[in-house]
Chain A
Amino acid sequence: MDNVENIIARCLQGDQAGFAALYDQFAPGLYRLCYSLVLNREDAEDVTQESFVYAFKNLHRYNARLSAFKTWLYTIAICRCRNIYRRQKPVLNLSHFLPAPKSDTPEASLARVSAKEAVETALAALNPRLREAIVLRYGHGLTFREIAEVMDCPPKTAESRVRLGHDALRGMLGPAGQGLLDELVSFAG
């Protein structure tokens, strides 16, 4: 696979296949980020689409020496997500879940879905800034420095937001996690 700089260079020369390659590489992650933040599929689709259109139209402005393309793209998406949740409060939509792998037993699948549901519910209850930090850290594996770039704040602030989010989630997930564990033990027994 070509590296991102080469693909971007191809795009700037007008190669349409380059845009498709960029989309294939970054769309799943970007959609996941948008959904985790706005917690609504339609809004997540809109934000993903708008972010890609903006990025493709302003590709000449991207400077690889300043940040990674992924970070730049996430910054664009986060700004649009902020506009969304400034307009409306996030509405949880828990009806869509991933299909379970075939190897899963129904009980394990239920437990897995419950754990995901618990995390999603806890995330929805978090302050948006803390949710952004937690999603970027645990959902996308960004370093504190990258989180700071995306969230436009100092790295120490990003670190403290992750810590605060972590503390808040610990309070919310603690009992649920214990309940899930009990549920799994009873199924195993």
Chain B
Amino acid sequence: MNLHLNCNDCRGFLPAYISRTLPPLPRQKVAAHLDSCETCYAAYVQQRDIERELTQQVPLIGRADSPRLNRIWTAVQGEMACPRRAALRRIPARYHLVTIVAIVGLLLPSLGFQALRQRQMALALPVQPTPTETIEVTSQAVAMATAECACWLEAASAEAPEFTVPAQPNYAPNISGTQVP
């Protein structure tokens, strides 16, 4: 098994080697290299010490005491019960203004387009002709028209042939004209 590793690769593997997340084969290679290379071993020791210091010190940063956590919990409960309207309040007024301008800017072209279209449709409609002369409808004219209509109906009824009601109740003329024996 070839356990040879160059210094660059070894430095790259060091964090995983220190945190023990390196697979067995590369781990063996790194260990073998550290045994033989003084420079990499010094880097390894320094990195391991800093790792230890970070593991000890970083968890100490920002530890909250009980009153602080209780205060946050009270605020969380309050917000769960009645959500604050801070979302709108936190947005600066200039954003409201920009939003209004944007909405107006979007609405104006569409409104203008609608107005233009309505105008085009109005122009496309045929114009109603204006009456050239006015006929005055009087009671005399109505009486004349009624008499004329009555005469016409009378003449029409005189010209029409007389209709005879058939003797049989369910009479229907045989159009095909077949003779039944």
Contacts and interface: CB of A to CB of B under 8 A. Distances in A.
A49 B57 contact: no
B16 A169 contact: no
Most buried by A among B12, B15, B57: B57
Contact of B76 (A34, A49, A120, A140): A49
Interface in A55-93: 56-57
B95 to A, nearest CB: 14
Contact of B80 (A53, A119, A120, A166): A53
B174 interface: no
Contacts of B12: 163
B58 A53 contact: no
B61 A166 contact: no
A48 B56 CA distance: 23
Contact of A48 (B49, B50, B59, B72): B72
Interface in B1-35: 12, 15-16, 21
A129 interface: no
A12 B143 CA distance: 89
By size class, the interface of chain B is 20 to 34
B52 to A, nearest CB: 10
A32 B75 contact: no
A132 to B, nearest CB: 12
Which DSSP category, helix, strand, loop or mixed, fits chain B's interface?
Answer: helix
Interface string A173-185: 1100100000000
Contacts of B89: none
Contacts of A20: 73
B61 A35 contact: yes
Which DSSP category, helix, strand, loop or mixed, fits chain A's interface?
Answer: helix
A44 B75 CA distance: 14
B46 A116 contact: no
Contacts of A31: 62, 64, 68-69, 72
Nearest to A55: B76
B71 A52 contact: no
B169 to A, nearest CB: 81
Contacts of A169: 50, 54
B58 A123 contact: yes
Contacts of A123: 58, 61
A73 to B, nearest CB: 13
A36 to B, nearest CB: 5
B99 interface: no
Contacts of A35: 61-62, 64
7 contacts: A28-B63, A53-B80, A119-B53, A159-B16, A170-B46, A170-B50, A177-B53
Question: Considering the complex of A and B, which 9 residue pairs feature the smallest CB-CB distances, nearest first?
Answer: A35-B62, A139-B58, A119-B57, A138-B54, A138-B58, A31-B64, A32-B62, A52-B76, A53-B79
Given A52-B76, A173-B50, 19 more contacts: A27-B69, A28-B69, A31-B64, A36-B62, A45-B72, A48-B72, A49-B76, A53-B76, A57-B80, A115-B56, A119-B58, A119-B61, A134-B54, A138-B54, A139-B58, A139-B59, A143-B21, A169-B50, A170-B47
